[in-house]
Amino acid sequence: MKIYIDGKLVEKEDARISVFDHGLLYGDGVFEGIRAYNGRVFRLREHLDRLFNSAKGIMLEVPMSKKETEAAIIETLRANRLKDAYIRLVVTRGVGDLGLDPEKCPKASIFIIADKIKLYPEEMYTQGLELITTSTRRFTPNSLSPCVKSLNYLNNIMAKMEAKRAGVQEAIMLNAEGYIAECTGDNLFVLKENALITPPTWAGALEGITRGAVMELAKNKLKLLVREDMLATYHVYTADECFLTGTAAEVVPVVRVDERVIGDGRPGKLTLKLIKEFRELTSLTGVPIYEK
């Protein structure tokens, strides 16, 4: 496996960062999780825009332009001869001293890993996932904005551990006010009487790329009403259908939440239609890896 790190492709064993990198010492950095399907990188432009916006949010200068970053991703995929892949793009504050001050970190580091990922077992897609509501809250926008996809995932990790302790795979995270923000690594949607609803970013949701694609498909292909709105757990318990979206997870049906059965306890009809539409979209669109 070849890893891209600061302008070079190196073997996995040689892909190293310093113990003085503030990405490691303080979680000071940003990242993206991107997928390639069938030789095309899905919504690459959107991922790069989000990465650069996350970096801007924390005053981190990405050491390459968007064009160069795009070329580096394609180069990494080609070097690993991948057509279907999960790509992790990371920008860290770089090497500094033991203090917090990012001014002591003269140059940010960037690395790209192209690998495979399987988040949930196949039966989760056909039978649906169970969720709990976790006691760990999502960051409030007046601390670190939840729109920044930073290397600080401890809140989400705590929530994930709580889910696993409860015997389920994912958990709903509320914001400080008690409204639903999202799950630990996915956005949440509910369907009620032909309206598809997801929390807005100001409720604490990440502006998910899969979320955006699914909202478009729901509107244009399934002719559903789509809106962003505040949701309480009650609205999930009483929804007709519920599902999660994320680059790694794709679209996953949810059939139980906090021991309440959602709908008839099976993946919803419209959810299954959206999964089909999403698979079609990902296999047909995106930036080609091997042409040019």
Contacts with 33 (C-beta within 8 Å, 6 or more apart), sequence order: 86, 87, 88, 89, 246, 247, 248
Residue 2 or 138 with smaller CB distance to ligand PMP: 138
170 makes contact with ligand PMP (CB under 6 A): no
Phi and psi at residue 156, to the nearest 5°: -65, -35
Residue 156 or 169 with smaller CB distance to ligand PMP: 156
Q: How many residues bind ligand PMP (CB under 6 A)?
A: 14
200 makes contact with ligand PMP (CB under 6 A): no
Whether the CB-CB separation of 235 and 242 falls below 8 Å is answered with no
Residue 79 or 248 with smaller CB distance to ligand PMP: 248
Which residue has 């190196």 as its token pair? 10
Q: Return the closest-CA partner of residue 78 out of 142, 2, 167, 183.
A: 2
Q: Catalytic pick from 56, 66, 149, 223?
A: 149
Partners of 180 in the β-ladder? 174
Please pick, from the candidates 29, 94, 102, 185, the single residue that binds ligand PMP as defined by CB under 6 A.
185
In three-state secondary structure terms, 191 is strand
Site string for ligand PMP, 23-42 (x = CB under 6 A): ----------x---------
Residue 95 or 196 with smaller CB distance to ligand PMP: 196
In three-state secondary structure terms, 14 is helix
**Considering the complex, what minimum distance in angstroms separates the CB of residue 19 from ligand PMP?**
26
Which residue has 């292909």 as its token pair? 221
Site string for ligand PMP, 87-116 (x = CB under 6 A): ------------------------------
Residue 40 or 211 with smaller CB distance to ligand PMP: 211
Residue 78 or 141 with smaller CB distance to ligand PMP: 141
Total residue length of the chain: 292
Query: Is 149 a residue of the active site?
Result: yes
182 makes contact with ligand PMP (CB under 6 A): yes
Please pick, from the candidates 130, 186, 241, 277, the single residue that binds ligand PMP as defined by CB under 6 A.
186
Q: Interacting stretch for ligand PMP, rule CB under 6 A, among 14-22, 104-112, 121-129, 241-249?
A: 241-249
Please pick, from the candidates 73, 206, 218, 275, the single residue that binds ligand PMP as defined by CB under 6 A.
206
Q: Return the closest-CA partner of residue 196 out of 244, 173, 228, 233.
A: 228
For residue 157, the one-letter residue type is: I
Angle made by CA atoms 67, 69, 72, in degrees to the nearest 5: 110
Helix spans in the chain (H): 22-26, 44-57, 66-79, 122-127, 154-165, 209-220, 233-237, 269-284
Q: Which positions from 105 through 164 interact with ligand PMP, judged by CB under 6 A?
A: 156
Q: Which residues are catalytic?
A: 149
What are the residues binding ligand PMP (CB under 6 A)? Answer: 33, 156, 182, 185-187, 206, 208-211, 245-247
